[in-house]
């Protein structure tokens, strides 16, 4: 590894237009899974000035029949979920307001050709919902085994959102972005060289004392998140560098589901297979296999078998078992990467990493996804049914198998 280098990651807040779209799509997934745990959902969302549009393919009991007829009352439930999601984020602006935005629902039945490849049948296990490659990653830069640049970028925006919702920072509005640049020495973060925060604000907080109040607040928020030993007199802050940021969210820019996949995963510190997560039920391996790959990588690092680990899985549509499993510990492993690949293959409760096996292992057929749609799908706390891929309950098995 290089001795010294700079690395940067960014995050966006729950009020960013793309994240509004992600949260709406996952709120719809949760609604459908609450009615039918085997529901098939591919829900895309478009947001723009006072408009939300849904499109995609769905199937499920109590939701829609094969002819495209909605179950009684479900269309109103969908609209209510969409409006409440926007309300919870905090949008009550002239250009985007939860109560008076226009809503269009263009969801339709899932293609029969997709269904025939995915559904289990006589002598056939459930197949992957699509082809593709999925990556998981973990490193020991932070307590949650995430890349430090992304971890702190997320935490800054979570702090701003918490203070906005509580009233501690009443001048903030929902849309925001952050970016953290760290200097690494011998592979470890040693200094924050630059921090960028652009936050939507109420009228008047772009000049004079009110601007100073906003910038002072942001610096204190950053200091509450980034460890003191990383912040120095040389740390450069760019706070609302373009000036006024009153018009934001879907009124300032359109939003689409799945446009923030690097924010959702590892901030550029690891590869990404290309598939988005939000709006997809867990038969879609874009989502479920990426989750189990993170689970495996995190457990390898938590077990002390490596300080950095990347895992790749690949699938073919309609085929149950992965086509390949690849482990790379980037020269930090205590055993060979091939030994770890073999160890993973011997853990029976992984269910051969089939879509059904992954869903059963992690309990993914539940309405747990809206919570994932802002501030990253990884590096979160496993609580109850939420974020089960963040558990480290494979540690003992991996240690024993690696030592065998």
How many other CB atoms are there within 10 angstroms of residue 334's CB atom? 16
The answer to the question of whether 19 is labelled as a binding residue is no
- DSSP state letter for 80: H
Structure tokens at 222: 């950053």
From the centroid of its chain, how far is CA 166?
A: 24
Nearest one of 195, 196, 265, 198 to 227, comparing CA atoms = 195
**Helical H runs in 43-104?**
74-89
The answer to the question of whether 238 is labelled as a binding residue is no
167-171-232 Cα angle (round to 5): 95
The answer to the question of whether 297 is labelled as a binding residue is no
The answer to the question of whether 259 is labelled as a binding residue is yes
The answer to the question of whether 102 is labelled as a binding residue is no
The answer to the question of whether 374 is labelled as a binding residue is no
Nearest one of 231, 154, 232, 163 to 197, comparing CA atoms = 154
The answer to the question of whether 276 is labelled as a binding residue is yes
Residue 211: C-alpha distances to residues 2, 160, 177, 205, 266 (Å): 40, 16, 17, 5, 32
The answer to the question of whether 177 is labelled as a binding residue is yes
The answer to the question of whether 391 is labelled as a binding residue is no
Contacts of 283 (CB under 8 A, 6+ apart): 40, 118, 126, 128, 129, 355, 359
The answer to the question of whether 381 is labelled as a binding residue is no
The answer to the question of whether 88 is labelled as a binding residue is no
The answer to the question of whether 148 is labelled as a binding residue is no
- Largest Cα span, the chain: 72
Nearest one of 105, 18, 19, 29 to 284, comparing CA atoms = 29
What distance, in Å, lies between the first and last C-alpha atoms of the chain?
A: 29
Contacts of 236 (CB under 8 A, 6+ apart): 193, 194, 195
Is-contact 192 230, C-beta < 8 A? Answer: yes
CA atoms of 90 and 165, how far apart (whole Å): 8
The answer to the question of whether 57 is labelled as a binding residue is yes
The answer to the question of whether 44 is labelled as a binding residue is yes
Question: Which residue ranges make up the annotated binding site for Mg(2+)?
Answer: 18
Question: Which residue ranges make up the annotated binding site for L-methionine?
Answer: 57, 110, 253, 284
Question: Which residue ranges make up the annotated binding site for ATP?
Answer: 16, 175-177, 253, 259-260, 276, 280
Question: Which residue ranges make up the annotated binding site for K(+)?
Answer: 44
Question: Which residue ranges make up the annotated binding site?
Answer: 16, 18, 44, 57, 110, 175-177, 253, 259-260, 276, 280, 284
């Amino acid at each position: 590894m290089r001795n010294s280098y700079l690395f940067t990651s960014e995050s966006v807040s729950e009020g960013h237009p793309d994240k509004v779209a992600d949260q709406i799509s996952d709120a719809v997934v949760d609604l459908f899974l609450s009615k039918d745990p085997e529901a098939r959902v591919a829900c895309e969302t478009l947001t723009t000035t006072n408009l939300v549009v849904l499109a995609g393919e769905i199937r499920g009991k109590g939701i829609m029949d094969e002819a495209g007829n909605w179950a009684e009352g479900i269309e109103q439930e969908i609209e209510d979920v969409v409006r409440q999601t926007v309300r919870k984020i905090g949008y009550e602006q002239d250009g985007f307001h939860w109560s008076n935005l226009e809503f269009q629902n263009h969801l339709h039945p899932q293609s029969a050709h997709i269904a025939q490849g995915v559904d289990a049948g006589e002598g056939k296990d459930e197949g992957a919902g699509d082809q593709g490659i999925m990556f998981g990653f973990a490193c020991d830069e932070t307590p949650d085994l995430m890349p430090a640049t992304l971890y702190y970028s997320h935490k800054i925006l979570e702090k701003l959102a918490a203070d906005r919702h509580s009233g501690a920072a009443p001048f903030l509005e929902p849309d925001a972005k952050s970016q953290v640049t760290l200097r690494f020495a011998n592979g470890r973060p040693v200094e924050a060289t630059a921090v960028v925060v652009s936050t939507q604000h109420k009228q008047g907080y772009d000049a004079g004392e009110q601007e100073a109040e906003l910038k002072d607040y942001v610096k204190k928020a950053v200091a509450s998140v980034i460890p003191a030993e990383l912040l120095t007199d040389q740390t450069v802050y760019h706070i609302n560098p373009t000036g006024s940021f009153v018009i934001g969210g879907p009124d300032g820019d359109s939003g689409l589901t799945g446009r923030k996949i690097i924010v959702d995963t590892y901030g550029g510190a690891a590869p990404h297979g290309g598939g988005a997560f939000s709006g997809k039920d867990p038969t879609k391996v874009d989502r479920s296999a990426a989750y189990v790959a993170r689970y495996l990588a995190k457990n390898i690092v938590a077990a002390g078998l490596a300080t950095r680990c990347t895992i790749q899985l690949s699938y073919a549509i309609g085929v149950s078992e992965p086509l390949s499993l690849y482990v790379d510990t980037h020269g930090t492993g205590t055993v060979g990467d091939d030994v770890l690949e073999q160890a993973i293959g011997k853990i029976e409760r992984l269910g051969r990493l089939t879509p059904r096996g992954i869903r059963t292992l992690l309990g993914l057929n539940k309405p747990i996804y809206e919570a994932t749609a802002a501030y990253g799908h990884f590096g979160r706390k496993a609580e109850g049914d939420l974020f089960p891929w963040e558990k480290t309950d494979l540690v003992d098995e991996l240690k024993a198998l690696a030592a065998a």
